[in-house]
């Protein structure tokens, strides 16, 4: 199921121009996965060494995963700083924070240099609350940010948040001056075009069916085997198909919907050019306008796949159209019944603490990986491309020593416990979100199960 973003981007770039692999191949670096992680890493490697022979192996088309389906909130990584500091030190945490700011600049500069219509909107994203029980973490967050000398966050009270978003449903929030909104489809397809122009070979409709943990490693596909000095896995939620990566992350889907262009309605309601926002539910809801006068929104807590069977879940959203309309209607009642252009869903790869993980596969040091973005990968995938490139080049530098290069964990159990436990935790989260809105406290059994939930928007 293609997102409206991806359909728009494919229409604009004249169709995919697919080249599947045709026979065996030897390269310096094989990257599996043609999303932001794979494409940024390919570009980073080429910028470091133009002579490297880099190939991307993508089972569908570039952008068909999370990168072409997301909400396009390009968020800096300030919220991650306290946790990063806890697992490393202040300087290493700030390095990541600054790299994330630079990543947003990279999106701007690559788009400007190569004519990518990323539709960057500087209207920011607000981390908002929809009920009193959700608010209250602002003070702590602002205090922590002061300690890091980060001044991008400002508190907005109910009136200010209404002015910024046009929604009466929000009771307050933190606006992040450095966040931007982008068109994820155009960006990912644009990066593909730039990568091709830089000499990266891209093989689409080419699925990795086996990963050889050999020296050198191999990537087997139905059309041939790729042998590479190094392999990069940029597989996002599909990382669960790699046994070594399975226990460090779980996947749950997020639903998304986009209206048809509604310029008159946006004008009438004063919603043209408003800020995007996420709420503070555990099953986050997010909403933003688009550059072509539509409204777009998401709600997490969708399908919970069994094992690595992600594709069974991605055919249609978890929620009915009416339930999705209720989400937007909760923020903008007058938009509840406007015509929807498309609704889809996509996986979110969650780690327990909400930080992505980069590293080398314990069973083969020549295979490196990056995943676990926990719902915010647009910016961290660019940060991670530096880390992955340094790992590929066997460097000992600020990137390979970064706190995001961390050991794999045993946070999530194997199936069937993962799925059964996941359903119970999912029910507990839904109950907590409902009770918060009713101003009620959840009981001890719900509290017990909530301790097993992975981190939400704010890492913990």
Ligand X SMILES: Cc1cc2nc3c(=O)[nH]c(=O)nc-3n(C[C@H](O)[C@H](O)[C@H](O)COP(=O)(O)OP(=O)(O)OC[C@H]3O[C@@H](n4cnc5c(N)ncnc54)[C@H](O)[C@@H]3O)c2cc1C
Does residue 298 belong to the site contacting ligand X (CB under 6 A)? yes
| CB of residue 12 to ligand X, shortest distance in Å | 18
* Only segment of 97-105, 138-146, 166-174, 371-379 that touches ligand X (CB under 6 A): 371-379
Closest distance of CB 84 from ligand X, Å: 17
User: Residues touching ligand X: how many (CB under 6 A)?
Assistant: 40
Establish if 382 lies at the interface with ligand X (CB under 6 A). Answer: no
Say how many CA atoms lie within 13 Å of 205 toward its Cβ: 6
Closest CA to 227 of 218, 236, 238: 218
* Three-class DSSP category at 154: strand
Quick check: 343 binds ligand X (CB under 6 A)? no
Q: Does 331 bind ligand X (CB under 6 A)?
A: no
CA 398/CA 386 separation, integer angstroms: 10
HEC assignment per residue over 37-83: HHHHHHHHHHHHCCCCCEEEECCCCCCCCHHHCCCCEECCCHHHHHH
Cα–Cα distance for residue pair 82/80, rounded to 1 Å: 6
280 to each of 20, 195, 245, 291, how far by Cα in Å?
43, 37, 29, 25
Tokens matching residue 355 = 């930080």
With CB under 6 A as the contact rule, the residue among 38, 317, 403, 422 that binds ligand X is 38
Q: Give backbone dihedrals phi and psi of 74, rounded to 5 degrees, phi first.
A: -95, 100
- Of 381, 385, 390, 406, the one binding ligand X (CB under 6 A) is 381
Residue among 8, 70, 130, 135 that touches ligand X (CB under 6 A): 70
Measured from the CB atom, is 67 or 248 closer to ligand X? 67
d(CA 317, CA 314): 7
Residues numbered 384 to 403 that lie near ligand X (CB under 6 A) are none
Which tokens go with 350? 């969650």
Which segment (13-21, 56-64, 92-100, 192-200) binds ligand X by CB under 6 A? Answer: 56-64
Query: Could you give the CA distance from residue 282 to residue 390 in angstroms, rounded to a whole number?
Result: 34
348 scored as a contact of ligand X (CB under 6 A): yes
Work out whether 35 is an interface residue with ligand X (CB under 6 A): yes
Using the contact rule CB under 6 A, the part of the chain among 31-39, 44-52, 165-173, 193-201 near ligand X is 31-39
346 is a contact residue toward ligand X (CB under 6 A): yes
**Long-range pairs, 319-323, Cβ under 8 A, ≥24:** 319/255
Q: Quick check: 67 binds ligand X (CB under 6 A)? A: yes
78 is a contact residue toward ligand X (CB under 6 A): no
Q: Given candidates 21, 32, 110, 338, which one binds ligand X under the rule CB under 6 A?
A: 32
Q: Does 57 bind ligand X (CB under 6 A)?
A: yes
Q: Which of 301, 375, 403, 459 binds ligand X (CB under 6 A)?
A: 375
Window contacting ligand X (CB under 6 A); options: 70-78, 111-119, 130-138, 401-409 = 70-78
Closest to ligand X by CB, 282 or 442: 282
Of the candidate residues 44, 45, 65, 164, the single one contacting ligand X (CB under 6 A): 65
Under the binding rule (CB under 6 A), the answer on residue 296 touching ligand X is no
Near ligand X in 217-256, by CB under 6 A: 234-236, 238, 254, 256
CA distances from 291 to 5, 68, 156, 183 (A): 11, 16, 24, 8
Length of the chain: 460
How far is it between the farthest Cα atoms of the chain? 63
Do 259 and 295 contact (CB within 8 A), yes or no?
yes
Closer CB to ligand X, 38 or 330, in the complex = 38
Question: Does 73 participate in binding ligand X (rule CB under 6 A)?
Answer: yes
Cα separation, 172 vs 249, whole angstroms: 31
- C-alpha distances (whole Å) from 369 to each of 75, 349, 372 are 22, 13, 10
Q: Where do contacts with ligand X occur on this chain (CB under 6 A)?
A: 32-38, 57-60, 64-67, 69-73, 75, 207-208, 234-236, 238, 254, 256, 298, 346-348, 373, 375-379, 381
């Amino acid at each position: 199921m293609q997102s409206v973003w991806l359909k728009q981007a494919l229409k604009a770039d004249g169709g995919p121009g697919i080249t599947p692999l045709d026979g065996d191949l030897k390269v310096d670096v094989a990257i599996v996965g043609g999303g932001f992680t794979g494409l940024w890493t390919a570009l980073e490697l080429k910028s470091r060494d133009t002579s490297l022979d880099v190939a991307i192996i993508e089972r569908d088309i570039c952008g068909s995963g999370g990168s072409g389906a997301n909400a396009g909130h390009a968020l800096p990584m300030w919220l991650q700083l306290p946790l990063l500091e806890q697992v490393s030190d202040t300087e290493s945490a700030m390095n990541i924070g600054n790299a994330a700011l630079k990543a947003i600049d990279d999106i701007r500069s690559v788009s400007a240099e190569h004519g990518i219509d990323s539709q960057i909107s500087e209207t920011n994203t607000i981390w908002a609350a929809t009920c009193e029980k959700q608010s209250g973490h602002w003070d702590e967050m602002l205090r922590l940010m002061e300690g890091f000398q980060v001044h991008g966050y400002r508190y907005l009270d109910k009136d200010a948040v209404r002015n910024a978003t046009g929604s009466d449903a929000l009771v307050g929030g933190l606006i992040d001056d450095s966040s931007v909104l982008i068109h994820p489809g155009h960006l990912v397809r644009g990066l593909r075009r730039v990568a091709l122009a830089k000499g990266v070979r891209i093989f689409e409709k080419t699925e990795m069916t086996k990963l050889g943990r050999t020296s050198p490693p191999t990537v087997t596909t139905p059309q041939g085997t790729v042998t590479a000095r190094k392999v990069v896995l940029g597989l996002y939620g599909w990382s669960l198909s790699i046994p070594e990566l399975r226990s460090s992350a779980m996947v749950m889907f997020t639903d998304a919907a986009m209206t048809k262009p509604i310029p008159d309605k946006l004008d009438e309601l004063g919603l043209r050019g408003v800020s995007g926002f996420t709420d503070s539910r555990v099953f986050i809801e997010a909403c933003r306008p688009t550059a072509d006068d539509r409204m777009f929104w998401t709600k997490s807590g969708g399908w919970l796949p069994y094992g690595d069977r992600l594709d069974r879940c991605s055919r249609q959203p978890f929620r009915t159209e009416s339930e999705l309309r209720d989400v937007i209607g909760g923020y903008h009642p007058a938009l509840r019944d406007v015509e929807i252009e498309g609704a889809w869903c996509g996986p979110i790869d969650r780690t327990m603490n909400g930080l992505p993980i980069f590293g080398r596969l314990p069973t083969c040091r020549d295979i490196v990986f990056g995943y676990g973005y926990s719902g915010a990968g647009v910016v961290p995938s660019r940060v991670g491309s530096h880390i992955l490139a340094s790992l590929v080049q066997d460097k000992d530098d600020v990137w390979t020593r970064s706190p995001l290069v961390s050991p794999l964990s045993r946070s999530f159990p194997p199936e069937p416990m993962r799925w059964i436990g996941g359903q119970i935790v999912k029910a507990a989260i839904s109950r907590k979100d409902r009770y918060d809105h009713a101003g009620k406290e959840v009981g001890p059994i719900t509290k017990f199960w909530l301790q097993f939930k992975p981190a939400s928007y704010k890492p913990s």
